[in-house]
Amino acid sequence: MNASENLIATEQRLGAHNYKPLDVVLTRGEGVYVWDTDGNRYLDCLSAYSAVNQGHCHPKILAAMVEQAGKLTLTSRAFRNDQLAHLYEELAALTGSHKILPMNSGAEAVETAIKAVRKWGYEVKGVPEGKAEIIVCSDNFHGRTLSIISFSTDPDARTGFGPYTPGFRTIPFGDADAFAAAINENTVGALIEPIQGEAGVIIPPAGYFKRVRELCTTHNVTLILDEIQTGLGRTGKLLAEEHEGIEADVTLIGKALSGGFYPVSAVLSNTEVLGVLKPGQHGSTFGGNPLACAVARTALKVLTEEGMIENAEKMGNYFLEGLRSIRSNIVKDVRGRGLMLAIELEPEAGGARQYCYGLKERGLLAKDTHEHTIRLAPPLVITKDQVEWAVSEIEKTIT
Q: Which residues are catalytic?
A: 141, 226, 255
Identity of the residue numbered 54: Q
Rg of the chain (C-alpha set): 21
H or E, element range at 48: helix 47-50
DSSP 8-state class, residue 257: G
CB 205 within 8 Å of CB 197: no
Closest to 265 in 3D by CA, of 290, 239, 287, 291? 287
Residues 6+ apart with CB under 8 A from 41: 33, 34, 35, 363
**d(Cα 251, Cα 233) in Å, to the nearest integer?**
14
Closest CA to 260 of 381, 144, 390, 112: 381
Start-to-end CA span in the chain (Å) = 33
Closest CA to 262 of 288, 232, 235: 288
At 277, give phi and psi (nearest 5°): -85, 120
Q: Which residues pair with 41 in a beta bridge?
A: 35
Q: Rounded to the nearest 5 degrees, what angle is found at the Cα of 22, between the Cα atoms of 149 and 392?
A: 115
